[in-house]
Amino acid sequence: MEFIVKTGELEKQSSACVAVTVGENGDMGRSAKALDSLGKGIISRLLKAGDIKGKSGQSLMLHSLAGSKAERVLLLGTNSTSKALSQTDFISCARAAAAAVKQAGCKDVLLDISEQTVSDADEYWKARQLYQAFGESNYRFDQLKSDKSNKKLPLRKVTLLAATRGVANHYKRAAEHASGITSGIHTARDLGNLPGNICTPSYLATQAKSLARKHKSLSCKVLDEKQMKTLGMNSLLSVSAGSAQGARLIAMEYKGGKKGEQPIVLLGKGITFDSGGISLKPGAGMDEMKFDMCGAASVMGAMTTLCELGLPLNVVGMIASAENMPGPSATKPGDIITSMAGKTIEVLNTDAEGRLVLCDALTYAERYKPKAVVDIATLTGACIVALGHHISGMISNNDTLAEQLTGAGEKSADQVWQLPMNDDYQKQLKSNFADIANIGGPGAGTITAGCFLARFAEKFDWAHLDIAGTAWHSGANKGATGRPVALLSQYLLDRVDNQ
Ligand code: BES
Ligand code: MN
Ligand code: ZN
């Protein structure tokens, strides 16, 4: 899908659909007014009759409007065309517009949002959110359905009308970024949606290698179980012990920055299916544990964005991947293993496996002398209890990094919320037999999981994102969300501006 910017007057453009803003009490934006006078007051009459009240999120699709060159005119309610909308309301409007255009099956759309202001947001933000809303709605996962007759979504082109050349430049930057981010989000959703029998650790490795083949600045290393054994990654290997699928440690090295510049490491949890292992999960909804590699998928997504935008940064995208199964050689509750860092771990619950693969990967990350390490994991059900499905959890050992990620989350509408971490919580991980236990008792499950990881992240600035509640939707809309690719991409974009 193409994201385009144009200057000029909307009513003069021909298109499958033009979208204009209307507010409450007959309020119309400039383009709506122009179309209204061409159509001899039809939009005014519709507003007056209450067919659309102009509230944010409402929309009304009109066909063959008199005097309009476009096939359709979409009226978009924004409360007021001259007063600022909140950021969340603006995103709802953008999504409503995308849904209406999708419903009508338009192949292109031209929108005028130029007069609409949004609280604490600039022209770039507005345009990027709008483009992304269309990019996001133009996603379909049907590669495993046999009937692909309606496979192609028709929307090809989203054009934004800019009032001035200056604004057009902001929109162009937004279009470029939105395009890269949309690709990243689609990559993450595709990988997340694939079932566990297809998306295995070796499948993720193949995907990472094929991404590296497509981009000159990216190279990819994959460690198999034998190589990991040599490095002493017994904690990671303890998770794959009960599975027929071999574990993989994937490292995608992106070199877009200065030579020798310390990289940012993104590390994703890639459990391609989490049965719980010997501490077997209950059956209901267990299929959703194919999504337990969404952290890894978000790293693949962010690396895709990074490559497409060609950002001048050094970044390593790491994925710690295994399948957690209760096979005959599976790790058992009570087993004690020695991690790559040398710390011994008592595995009291084999379902707390994410931290076991991540801890060895964190130790491996030390070799990059990273500027910062951000791990992304569907780590704890407790995070859903704490924050629901709206905001991801965060634990960090560095306030600056935590602030950068919080800020990036707000800007990209892909929020995170920092949870506390201190020695009181660390004490919950005490083991009678080993250096550390892999679970911390019933209270504060997200924090104690973070505490566990923190023990392996002492040598660098580190933040952990728990995306258990945000990585996928359950129910009728079951499917991967692509979160937090937008947040990670924003964090990387911000690092470019701040150099
Ligand atoms: N992958 C799960 C966490 C999870 C559960 C994410 C449900 C999303 C929805 C993780 O490996 C896990 O099983 N965690 C346990 C930890 C517990 C044993 C300390 C959990 O949350 O129950
Ligand atoms: Mn688990
Ligand atoms: Zn898991």
What DSSP string runs through 396-444?
Answer: ES-HHHHHHHHHHHHHTT--EEE----HHHHHTT--SSSSEES---SS-
Ligand 1-lining residues (CB < 6 angstroms): 274, 292, 349, 351-354, 378-382, 439, 445, 468
Residues of the chain with CATH 3.40.220.10: 2-161
- CA dist 291 and 379 (Å) reads 11
Classified as helix, coil or strand, 361 is helix
At the fourth CATH level, the homologous superfamily of domain 187-497 is Zn peptidases (3.40.630.10)
Position 499 scores a pLDDT of 56
Quote the pLDDT of residue 152: 79
| Ligand 1 atom closest to residue 380's alpha carbon, by position in its atom list | 21
Question: What is the reported pLDDT for 34?
Answer: 97
- Contact 351/340 with Cβ under 8 angstroms? no
Atom of ligand 1 nearest to the CA of 449: 19
Span from the CA of 352 to the centroid of ligand 2 (angstroms): 5
Residue 71: exposed, middle, or buried by beta-carbon count in 10 A (0-12, 13-18, 19+)? middle
77 strand-pairing partners: 22
Cα separation, 422 vs 46, whole angstroms: 59
- Residue located nearest, by CA, to atom 22 of ligand 1: 381
Q: Is 403 helix (H, G, I), strand (E, B) or coil?
A: helix
Q: What is the pLDDT along the chain (499 residues), one digit of tens a residue?
A: 999 999 999 999 999 999 999 999 999 999 999 999 999 999 999 999 999 999 999 999 999 999 999 999 999 999 999 999 999 999 999 999 999 999 999 999 999 999 999 999 999 999 999 999 999 999 999 999 998 766 679 999 999 999 999 999 999 999 999 999 999 999 999 999 999 999 999 999 999 999 999 999 999 999 999 999 999 999 999 999 999 999 999 999 999 999 999 999 999 999 999 999 999 999 999 999 999 999 999 999 999 999 999 999 999 999 999 999 999 999 999 999 999 999 999 999 999 999 999 999 999 999 999 999 999 999 999 999 999 999 999 999 999 999 999 999 999 999 999 999 999 999 999 999 999 999 999 999 999 999 999 999 999 999 999 999 999 999 999 999 999 999 999 999 999 976 5
Ligand 1: residue whose CA is nearest its atom 6: 468
Which ligand 1 atom lies nearest to the CA of residue 288?
9
Ligand lying nearest the CA atom of residue 389: 1
Residues of the chain with CATH 3.40.630.10: 187-497
Task: Quote the pLDDT of residue 192.
Answer: 99
| Catalytic entry in 107, 281, 343, 371 | 281
Instruction: Please give all residues whose CB falls under 5 A of ion ligand 2, grouped by chain where several chains appear.
Output: 274, 351, 353
Residue 55 known to be catalytic:
no
Burial of 284 (0-12, 13-18, 19+ CB in 10 A): exposed
Instruction: Pick the closest to residue 101 from 142, 123, 133 (CA basis).
Output: 133
Contact present, 3 and 109 (Cβ < 8 Å): no
Asked about 355 being catalytic, the answer comes back as yes
The predicted structure's pLDDT at residue 498? 65
pLDDT of residue 117: 96
CATH superfamily of 2-161: Leucine Aminopeptidase, subunit E, domain 1 (3.40.220.10)
